[in-house]
C-alpha cells in the first residue's frame, strides 16, 4: 500500500471513530499512532523550481504579501481552496504537491488527540512562539461556536478536534501549533499588514517552533501564508485561505537560520493600506469558494 492510500485508510477509520465520540477517537488513534508515524519525513524544503511547471504564483496573495517580510525570494503559489488548504500547503512544502494533505491532517490529529492537555497550557505557546502567543487568544480564535461548551475549555477543544478530523474542515491557529510539533518543523507564518483591531497580527505573523521534547531532528522552516481567495482590501480584512510560499533555488537567504526572515515591526491599529489596492477591491472579483468561507470568531 502506498503512502497516500495508507493515510487515507487511517483517516477513514478515525473519521468514523470521531463520529462516535472522543473516547472512540482516542482509542483508535492510540492503537495506530506508532505504526502511522514511524515513517521518516523530509528535512529539506521544496524549492520553487522543484514544483510542477503547471504551478502558478497566487496573484491575490502576492498583492497581500506584507512589506515587512524581508525574504524577497519567497513566492506564494496557488493552492486549492476546499477547506483543506492549510494541509495542502504543508504537503506542498514537504512533498512538492498537495496530494498528501490527508496525511498532514491525520498527523496533526494524532498530535492533538494524544497531547490535548499540552494545548491547554500557556507555557506551550510561550515556548513555541517567537512572539509569545497568548493561549486564550489561540483557543478563542480556534474553537468554533458549535464546539464551544460554557466554562469547559477542555471539552470545547475536544469537540473542535472531533470536528476537524473531517476532511475539508477549515484550519486555525491550534492546527498550526499542533502541526509544528507533529512534523518537528518550524513554520514561519506570513500575515498581511491589515487594518483590523480584532486581530492580533503578531500571533499570526511569526515563527512557531517545536517544543524541545518533540524536536529530535529539524530542518529549514516551512513558509505558510494566511490569505484570501478574492478580497485584497486590507481594511477589516480576515483570512479565508492558506497558501505555501517557496524559495527560489538560488536564494541567498539562509532559511535554516533560527530567526525568521521577518523584519521587526510595531503592531498598531493603524497599519497603512496596501499601496497596490484598487479603489474597489471586490469589484469584478470572483465569488468566494463556498468551502473556503472566512473563519468564525475573532481572527
- Residue 272 reports pLDDT greater than 60: no
| pLDDT category of residue 71 using cuts at 50, 70 and 90 | confident
Give the length of the chain: 299
| pLDDT category of residue 294 using cuts at 50, 70 and 90 | low
- Residue 239 reports pLDDT greater than 70: yes
> 3-class DSSP state for residue 244?
strand
What's the confidence (pLDDT) of residue 107?
97
Mean confidence (pLDDT) of the chain: 84
- Residue 218 reports pLDDT greater than 80: no
Residue-wise pLDDT tens digits, 23-35: 999 999 999 998 8
**Placement of cell 492546527 in the chain:** 175
| pLDDT category of residue 249 using cuts at 50, 70 and 90 | confident
What's the confidence (pLDDT) of residue 273?
30
- Residue 244 reports pLDDT greater than 80: yes
Q: What is the 3-state secondary structure (H, E, C) of 185-229?
A: CCEEEECCCCECCCCCHHHHCEEECCCHHHCCCCCCCEEEEEECC
Residue 74, phi then psi, degrees to nearest 5: -85, 135
- Residue 252 reports pLDDT greater than 60: no
- Residue 140 reports pLDDT greater than 90: yes
Parallel, antiparallel, or unpaired: how do β-strands 222-227 and 187-190 relate? parallel
What's the confidence (pLDDT) of residue 245?
97
More confident residue, 296 or 92: 92
- CB of 237 within 8 A of CB of 194? yes
| pLDDT category of residue 268 using cuts at 50, 70 and 90 | very low
**Placement of cell 487511517 in the chain:** 10
What's the confidence (pLDDT) of residue 54?
93
- Residue 43 reports pLDDT greater than 70: yes
The continuous run of DSSP H or E covering 16 comes out as: helix 3-20
pTM: 0.84
Angle between helical axes of 153-164 and 22-30 (0-180°, round to 10): 60
Give all domains of the chain, ordered by start, each with its CATH number.
3-247 (3.90.70.80)
> Cell digits for 112?
492533538
Residue-wise pLDDT tens digits, 141-185: 999 999 999 999 999 999 999 999 999 999 999 999 999 999 999
Separation CA 152–CA 73 (nearest Å):
44
More confident residue, 279 or 140: 140
> Cell digits for 205?
505573523
Amino acid at each position: 500500500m502506498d503512502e497516500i492510500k495508507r493515510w487515507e485508510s487511517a483517516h477513514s477509520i478515525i473519521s468514523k471513530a470521531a463520529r462516535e465520540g472522543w473516547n472512540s477517537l482516542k482509542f483508535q488513534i492510540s492503537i495506530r499512532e506508532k505504526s502511522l508515524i514511524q515513517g521518516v519525513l523530509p528535512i529539506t524544503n521544496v524549492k520553487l523550481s522543484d514544483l510542477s511547471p503547471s504551478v502558478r504564483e497566487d496573484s491575490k496573495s502576492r498583492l497581500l504579501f506584507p512589506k515587512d517580510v524581508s525574504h524577497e525570494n519567497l513566492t506564494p503559489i496557488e493552492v486549492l481552496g476546499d477547506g483543506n488548504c492549510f494541509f495542502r500547503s504543508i504537503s506542498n512544502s514537504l512533498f512538492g504537491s498537495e496530494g498528501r494533505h490527508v496525511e498532514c491532517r491525520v498527523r496533526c490529529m494524532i498530535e492533538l488527540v494524544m497531547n490535548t492537555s499540552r494545548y491547554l497550557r500557556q507555557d506551550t505557546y510561550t515556548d513555541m512562539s517567537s512572539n509569545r502567543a497568548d493561549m486564550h487568544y489561540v483557543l478563542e480564535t480556534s474553537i468554533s461556536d458549535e464546539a464551544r461548551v460554557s466554562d469547559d475549555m477542555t471539552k470545547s477543544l475536544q469537540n473542535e478536534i472531533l470536528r476537524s478530523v473531517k476532511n475539508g474542515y477549515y484550519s486555525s491557529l491550534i492546527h498550526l501549533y499542533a502541526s509544528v510539533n507533529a512534523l518537528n518543523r518550524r513554520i514561519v507564518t506570513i500575515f498581511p499588514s491589515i487594518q483590523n483591531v480584532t486581530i492580533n497580527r503578531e500571533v499570526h505573523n511569526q515563527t512557531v517552533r517545536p517544543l524541545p521534547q518533540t524536536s529530535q531532528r529539524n530542518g529549514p522552516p516551512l513558509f505558510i501564508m494566511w490569505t484570501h481567495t478574492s478580497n485584497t482590501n486590507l481594511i477589516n480584512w480576515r483570512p479565508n485561505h492558506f497558501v505555501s510560499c517557496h524559495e527560489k533555488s538560488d536564494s541567498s537567504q539562509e532559511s535554516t537560520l533560527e530567526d525568521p526572515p521577518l523584519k521587526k515591526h510595531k503592531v498598531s491599529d493603524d497599519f497603512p493600506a496596501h499601496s497596490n489596492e484598487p479603489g474597489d477591491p471586490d469589484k469584478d472579483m470572483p465569488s468566494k469558494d463556498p468551502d473556503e468561507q472566512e473563519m468564525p470568531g475573532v481572527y
